[in-house]
Chain A
Amino acid sequence: MYRLALNMLFGDRAKLAMLLCGLAFSALLMAQQSSVFFGIMSWTYTPMVNIRAQIWVSDSMVEQVNDAKPLRDTDLGRVRSVDGVAWAAPLHTSFVQARMQDGNFKLITLVGIDADTFAGAPAVLTQGRIEDLRLPDTVIVDEWGAALMGRMGVGPDGQPRNQPLTVGDTFEINDIQARIVGICKVRRAFTGGPFVYTTYDRAKGYTLGARRTLSFMLVEPQKGVTPIELCDRIERATGLKAWTSDTVIWSWGERSLARNTFWWFWTNTGIPFSFGTAVLLGLFVGIAISGQTFYSFVLENLKYFAALKAMGAGMGIIARMLFIQAFSAGLIGFGLGVGMAQAIGRVMIEKGMPPFVMYPQILWATFVLVLGISFVSAVIGIIKVSRVDAAAVFRG
């Protein structure tokens, strides 16, 4: 009987196409919009991804990674004095204006890393060597920033160069020359500025007038000490705030700076609202189209369902038939929808824009919601069929 239920569903191609379109579209909309949303939100904690360390230590009032409250240089000594710390390195982050060769200005994210160990250095350099950062007035620029700033640059002939900056090109930060010795590959940030890496000491020079320049400290725990444990110790000993660097925004861990940044943006900006609207829209469109189509499918087959009832099929069998039909359509619609979403996502990831982060949770949520739509559709159909009188079959 259930096979016949499927045959009934697949027999009407126009209706099936409509039904699948509705379900697939809503699955696509929900999965794709959520992924772009989480992609954009994942940009908020980009520094945590680009600058890797087990533990970040910040001022106690810091709420998120883009909002550094400067520390004193001697705080580094205090953190290094905490038991369980293997090493600690200074980190400077700030937003400064860089002046291009053509006089244009561009806001950049200046990152000053420890010149000794290069702790926090970008993982992938496409050009140049990290050691060259020890040369005077040198910086490493991220790929995207190099392309962006290259568009602003002026070539040797005085014409706009229209090609990415490369090793050897220069620009100015606060009237101090910055010579590019490397191009790195890092993730883009929500705040928009390209990442410009330099040494911690030079970053002090580039940010003239700033009284304190220590934004964060990167800390590695000793073997056998868990990051959480060490965070507790650092906070107890120094009164500073210590964070773990995991980027699992789904965790309940209060210690994750990425997670706190994510939720800070969640509660303090309108982004979740706008994307939530899009996701809800997907849900409503899905419910409307799929529910409507399935309902009209049921209506069209109503007299046959009535005949089935007359022939002795109980509501149990009919309900199961409808559920099978709805859930089959839901499963296929889900597969097609997220299939399309991931195809779009792959293109986006390839282009790097807009950001696209498809968490498994997004897919599971989409799955549940699409099946929910199917469920609602089936229930509406079942109610409709249960109200029809078996005797109706005799009336023409």
Chain B
Amino acid sequence: MSPVAPIVAVRASGVDMFFGTPENQVVALKQADFEARRGELIMLVGPSGCGKTTLLSVIAGTLTPQAGTVEVFGQRLDGLGQEELTAFRRKHLGFVFQSFNLIPTLTVVENVMVPLLIQGLANDEAHARAKAMLDQVGLKGREDDRPDGLSGGQQQRVAIARALVHEPPLLICDEPTSALDKDTGAHIMQLVRDLSRSPERCVVVVTHDHRIFRFSDRIAEMEDGRISRVFDDPKLLDASHL
């Protein structure tokens, strides 16, 4: 932990999260503390079942923890109702999913328009912005294609465009490269880094793909439902895992 008080983007402290009945309980998070800063790209790593995805869901406001506090850009999430959480996500969050989750019956540009339209933007404006965003991810000319006509890498680019088109301060990526080969994964991570680089934006990436550790500013390692170690220099972890 840094002694200097940085501009905190995300802070979770003492988070407990368990699933199932009291007799048959699965503990996902146990007194987990996590912190992410503005302007950085932080990776959450760890073995399967360590609680990475659960922590991500808690930060994203899609899961409400049983105990502990979650604060995102100064907003306490643990006291909010479903409606407020939804509104919060709409405004502050962008998502990149492992399986892209692009709607197959919509065109590329329509998929990218979705977050803008949810925010209530007019169709034309949303279309223009989505198109501009697709230019940035290098998919100019493919706007009216269906996602299933694109390669995996291209689909993930669309997903990134969708995640960033409404310029959310917090970008959440869940295993963004696990469905991609090494080179494509690297390209995607480079793109995420390039596009999301902003002093205000915080990017949280859950991954167990060590080949992309080098794109992070910091790495938080999880073990048994809590953050065990935080590496300020990703190269250290890189080396230790090699």
Contacts and interface: CB of A to CB of B under 8 A. Distances in A.
Interface of A: 1, 3-4, 7-12, 301, 303-304, 307-314, 317, 389-391, 393-396
Contact of A312 (B90, B104, B106): B90
Interface string B82-102: 010011111101010111010
B56 A312 contact: no
Interface residues of B, number: 34
A307 B99 CA distance: 11
A303 B57 CA distance: 16
Contact of B91 (A10, A312, A394): A312
Contact of B87 (A10, A308, A314, A395): A314
A3 B123 contact: yes
B169 interface: no
Interface stretch (B69-77, B110-118, B187-195, B218-226): B110-118
A374 B115 CA distance: 27
Contact of A301 (B89, B97, B103, B107): B103
A12 B101 contact: no
7 contacts: A4-B110, A9-B105, A307-B97, A311-B118, A391-B57, A393-B62, A394-B60
Contact of B95 (A301, A304, A311): A311
Contacts of B105: 7-12, 301
Nearest to B123: A3
Please name the 6 residue pairs, one residue from A and one from B, whose CB atoms are nearest each other, closest first: A11-B105, A312-B90, A312-B89, A391-B62, A390-B62, A391-B57
A304 B103 contact: yes
A105 to B, nearest CB: 67
A231 B87 CA distance: 69
B237 interface: no
Contact of A4 (B60, B101, B114): B114
Interface of B: 53, 56-57, 60, 62-63, 83, 86-91, 93, 95, 97-99, 101, 103-107, 110, 113-115, 117-119, 123, 146, 174
B86 A309 contact: yes
A310 B95 contact: yes
Given A311-B114, A312-B91, A389-B62, 4 more contacts: A8-B106, A11-B105, A312-B115, A314-B86
Contacts of A310: 60, 62, 89, 95
B131 to A, nearest CB: 15
Given A7-B106, A317-B118, A396 B113 contact: no
Nearest to B178: A396
A294 to B, nearest CB: 14
Contacts of A395: 53
B176 to A, nearest CB: 12
A252 B62 CA distance: 58
B93 A312 contact: yes
A9 B118 CA distance: 18
Contacts of B113: 4
Nearest to B91: A312
B148 to A, nearest CB: 11
A303 B56 contact: no
Q: Which residue of A7, A11, A311, A396 has the most chain B CB atoms within 10 A of its CB atom?
A: A311
A391 B60 CA distance: 9
A393 B90 CA distance: 15
A394 B87 contact: no
Given A7-B110, A312-B90, A312-B115, A391 B101 contact: no
A311 B115 contact: yes
Contacts of A308: 114, 118
Given A8-B105, A307-B95, A311-B95, A394 B114 contact: no
Nearest to A395: B53
Contacts of A303: 99, 101
Given A4-B110, A314-B86, A394 B117 contact: no
A73 B123 CA distance: 80
Contacts of B53: 394-395
